[in-house]
Amino acid sequence: MLRLTWVQPEDLLGHELRQAAEDGREPWAVAARWRAAGGREAPPRAGASGQRASGYLRLLADDLLDELADLPSRLAEDEPTGLEKIRTLCPRWPGRPGGTRPPVPSQARLEAAWLGRAAGCLLGKPVEKLPLDGVRRLARAAGNWPLNGYFTARGVPGPLLEEHPWNRRSAPTSLAENIDGMPEDDDLNYPLLNLLLLQRHGRGFTTADVARLWLDELPAGRTFTAERVAYRNLLCGIEPPHTARHRNPFREWIGALIRADVHGWTNPGDPAAAAEQAHRDAVLTHTGNGVYAAMFTAAVVAAAATGGLDVHACLGTGLSVVPPRSRLAVAVTHAIRLAGEHADFDTVVDELHIAHRSAHWVHAVPNTALIAAALTHADGDFAGSICRAVSGGWDTDSAGATAGGVAALLTGGPAALPDRWTAPLKNRLATSVADFDGVGFDALAHLTRSLIPREASRP
């Protein structure tokens, strides 16, 4: 039986009920009707439930998804999706560079960023989807806690692996004993797609350009959560930005965040432009805090790309493009405060998991908070940042990738990254995107640098 993940109406309904409760709607009457009809909760970690729903339940789920979409939100004024409204709510929105052109990052700095993103992603791949306790126990069993190297099965007892199995798709290519170059991952596929986007359409690209590029270059089976639903919506004739809203309960999850680095790399010293590019990309698939997470990341990366700021200033710049009363701003501010208060990062993680105990493990709010906490607690150190991000659980490969990209960018070049992280990558990236399969990170850095404008942007 084929159970396609992230699109079955009976599974989407459970996720939409949780999303409605989080974004200030009142879904309780709809939830009661669903339960009374025999509807199940959404699967907690997998993309599809194990059993097919009846035809009646599937039709009911479709109807209830539309009914939930019409419910008003009490958070709407504090969490808009439109860019102009977002700007209005941000009193510290960054200014544009004036007459002095921000320095263009060197190819070495951009190569470090690509390598750091890959290494952080690779570190998190084997334990993606596992609960926090599983991540900790697997690392401890291998003598790798506090986390300081790629995960390994060596020395891990069989019963523990039965209780907390490695990610099925990732273990053959991402455990330390199996790594042979950087395997394919959506956390690297989307940056590649955004290079193609800028090559073909320039910095003035539209959200429709992003949609057309995906249909041309992105295999549907390589999409997940919000991206898969938006892709399906495009094929059904729904146009962006409605693709982000139509029966898409994942619209505040992490997918837009993992697409944001290129927007920061190509707008060094101009976090406003980076955030605006990330917004046009994100609204294909996301709304509200899902969009803010992408804008935050792009602005952080843009600030880091010049090499003139420390990680704490970069994170502050990221917050300047996020509505201050939004759930994301509150969560990131809280995470940064926790990281400054506690010497033990496990304590920080435990506090974050308590604060976000109702959130799904792929949701953008807790994951962005964890990334900010990891970078803060490690003071921007590369190894410390990726190990803290991954050791915090939730979406381990995505959090590791983003933290790694920022921290590596701040180092200035590949030589500053420890060999134990970069040597196994073998300067080779596997992907199903266009002609990039087997590309080297040095080549990607060269291409990225060629897409950076050589004149300062104007208001």
Per-residue pLDDT, averaged over 363-371, amounts to 98
Q: Which residues pair with 429 in a beta bridge?
A: 182, 439
Residue 30 burial (C-beta neighbours within 10 Å; 0-12, 13-18, 19+): buried
What lies within 8 Å, CB to CB, of 226 at 6+ separation is 244, 248, 250, 251, 253, 255, 256, 285, 286, 290
Q: Taken in order 110, 114, 119, 121, is the CA torsion positive or negative?
A: positive
Residue 459: pLDDT band (50, 70, 90) is very low
Indicate the residue type of 323.
P
Q: Report how far apart, in Å, the C-alpha atoms of 91 and of each of 96, 126, 321, 457 are.
A: 15, 41, 9, 21
Residues 48-87, buried b or exposed e (16+ Cβ, 10 A)?
bbeeebeeebeebbeebbeebeeeeeebeebbbbeeeebb
Per-residue pLDDT, averaged over 207-214, amounts to 98
Task: Return the CA Rg of the chain.
Answer: 21
Query: Percent of the chain at pLDDT above 90?
Result: 93
- Give the whole-angstrom CA distance, residue 162 versus residue 167: 12
Q: Which fold has domain 83-123+183-206+254-450?
A: ADP-ribosylglycohydrolase fold (1.10.4080)
Tokens (6 digits) for 457:
């942007």
End-to-end CA distance of the chain: 55
**Closest alpha carbon to 124 in 359, 423, 397:** 397
Tokens (6 digits) for 234:
């495009």
Instruction: Tell me the pLDDT tens digit for each residue of 89-147.
Output: 999 999 988 767 788 999 999 999 999 999 999 999 999 999 999 999 999 999 999 99
- Domain ranges (residues) in the chain: 9-69, 83-123+183-206+254-450
Task: Answer whether 449's CB lies under 8 Å from 107's CB.
Answer: yes
**Closest alpha carbon to 383 in 356, 397, 403, 368:** 403
- Kindly tell me the number of DSSP H helices and DSSP E strands found in the chain: 22, 0
- Give the whole-angstrom CA distance, residue 320 versus residue 456: 20
Helix (H) or strand (E) holding 36: helix 28-36
Task: Answer whether 397's CB lies under 8 Å from 121's CB.
Answer: yes
Q: pLDDT at position 97, please? A: 84
Instruction: Tell me the pLDDT tens digit for each residue of 160-205.
Output: 999 999 998 899 999 999 999 999 999 999 999 999 999 999 999 9
Residue 457: pLDDT band (50, 70, 90) is very low
Residue 454: pLDDT band (50, 70, 90) is confident
Instruction: Tell me the pLDDT tens digit for each residue of 221-258.
Output: 999 999 999 999 999 999 999 999 999 999 999 999 99
Residue 455: pLDDT band (50, 70, 90) is low
Residue 3: pLDDT band (50, 70, 90) is confident
Task: Answer whether 116's CB lies under 8 Å from 386's CB.
Answer: yes
Q: Taken in order 158, 146, 168, 3, is the CA torsion positive or negative?
A: positive
Residue 456: pLDDT band (50, 70, 90) is very low
Count how many residues are written for the chain.
Answer: 459
Question: Is 70 exceeded by the pLDDT of residue 211?
Answer: yes
**CA 344 to centroid of chain Cα atoms:** 25
Q: pLDDT at position 458, please? A: 43
Q: pLDDT at position 1, please? A: 56
**Closest alpha carbon to 362 in 262, 259, 223, 224:** 224
Instruction: Tell me the pLDDT tens digit for each residue of 276-303.
Output: 999 999 999 999 999 999 999 999 999 9
Per-residue pLDDT, averaged over 382-393, amounts to 98
Task: Answer whether 363's CB lies under 8 Å from 255's CB.
Answer: no
Task: Answer whether 406's CB lies under 8 Å from 110's CB.
Answer: no
Q: pLDDT at position 251, please? A: 98
Dihedral through CA 426, CA 432, CA 434, CA 437, nearest 10? Answer: 20
Backbone angles phi, psi at 253, to 5 degrees: -90, -170
Q: pLDDT at position 45, please? A: 87
Around 352, how many Cα atoms within 13 Å sit in the side-chain half-sphere?
35
User: Greater confidence, 411 or 434?
Assistant: 411
- Give the whole-angstrom CA distance, residue 32 versus residue 92: 43
**What average pLDDT does the structure give for the chain?**
96
